Amino acid sequence: MELRQLTYFIEVARLNNFTRAAKRLNIAQPALSQQIGNLEQELGVKLFKRTGRGVALTEAGEQFFIGAEKTLAEAQKAKDSVKEVINDPHGTIMVGALESLVQTRLPKLLVEFGKVYPGIKVFIRENTTEPLLDALKKGELELALAHGLDVKYSQHLLNLVTLKGICSKPLYQDELVLAVANGHPLEKKKTISINELREESFVSFKEGSGIRSQFITACLREGFEPLIAYECASPRTLVAEGLGVSVLPRLMAVSPGPSISILNLDPPLSRWVSVFYCEGRYLSPCAKIFLGFVEKYLASEMEG
C-alpha cells in the first residue's frame, strides 16, 4: 500500500466522483480507477459503490477513510517537521470566508497577518455558508469562516447542521439590523419588529446564507414568508437604490458605501461567525498559525 494510493482514495471519497477526483489529481481517470482497484484487491474489500450520480463509500470504505486520513496527516506532519516550518513559517493556505466578512473585517485582518507572517500566503474563497462548508468537507479548504450553525434554523440549514465530521469554534457575534433606502417610509422609525415587514420586498444574500436562513425563520415565526425580490453578495447597494429592504450585519451596514438608513430590530437578531474545520483532518502549520492569529485578532477587536 502506497501513500499515493491513499491520496487517490481520499480524493474520490471527498468528491464522490472518479472524474472530478482525477481532474483535481491531474491524472487520467483510467489510471485512478486502476489504483483504487489495486487498493481494493490488496484490502480484499470494496471501498466504493456506484450511485446514480457517482460513487459512495461502502461501510468498509467509511472505516478505511478514517484511518487513511490519519495516515496521510502523520506523513504530512513528518514532512513539515523536516522543513522546520514552525520556525520559519512559509507556505500557502486556502480559507473560505463569508461575503459579508470579506467586505468588513477580513481585509484589515489579512493586512496585519501579512505583516507578521510575510511568508504565508492566504488565498480566500468568498461565498455563503452552505457552499463554504461543502468545499471544506471536500478538502478544497483548510478552514472556513462562516455563519455559526444553530438547530433553531434547521428547517433552512438542515444540510449544514447534520454535516458529519465538521467542528467549529465561535469567533464573534454580529448584531443584525434592517437597512432601508433614504426617504423610505420606514426611515422615521428607530426600531421595527419583524411582523411590521410582512408587506416589504427584500434584497437578500444568496441561498446558502446563514443570515438569509435566520431571517426567513424569524418571518415564518410571525406567520408570513418574506418576498425576496433580489439576491446578491452586496444587498446594501440595491437597498440604497430603493429596490427593497435588507437585514444586514450592523458593521456591514455602517461601513463606507452607498447612503442608507439603519433601523434596530425588535426583538434583536444576531448571528455568530465561527471558524470551521474537519475533525481529525490534518491542519498544516500555516493553517494553525492563521487560526490562532484570527482568534486573537478578533478577540482584541471585540474588546476594543
Residue 226: the pLDDT is: 94
pLDDT of residue 202: 96
What are the residue ranges in the chain where pLDDT is below 50?
A: 151, 153-162
User: What is the structure's pLDDT at 163?
Assistant: 58
**What's residue 222's pLDDT?**
92
CATH for the stretch 90-304: 3.40.190.290
According to the model, what pLDDT value does residue 164 have?
65
Residue ranges per domain, the chain? Answer: 3-83, 90-304
pLDDT, position 145: 94
Indicate if 90-304 has the same CATH topology as 3-83: no
**Predicted local distance difference test score (pLDDT) of residue 76:** 74
Which CATH architecture best describes the domain 3-83? Orthogonal Bundle (1.10)
pLDDT tens digits, residue range 221-257?
999 999 999 999 889 999 999 999 999 999 899 988 8
Q: Supply the DSSP string of the chain, one letter for each residue.
A: --HHHHHHHHHHHHHT-HHHHHHHHTS-HHHHHHHHHHHHHHHTS--EEE-SSSEEE-HHHHHHHHHHHHHHHHHHHHHHHHHTTTTS--EEEEEEEEHHHHTTTHHHHHHHHHHH-TTEEEEEEEE-HHHHHHHHHTTS-SEEEEEPP-GGGHHHHHHHHT-TTEEEEEEEEEEEEEEEETT-GGGG-SEE-GGGGTT-EEEEPPTT-HHHHHHHHHHHHTT---EEEEE-S-HHHHHHTTS-BEEEEHHHHHSSSS-EEEEEESS-EEEEEEEEEETTS---HHHHHHHHHHHHHHHHHHH-
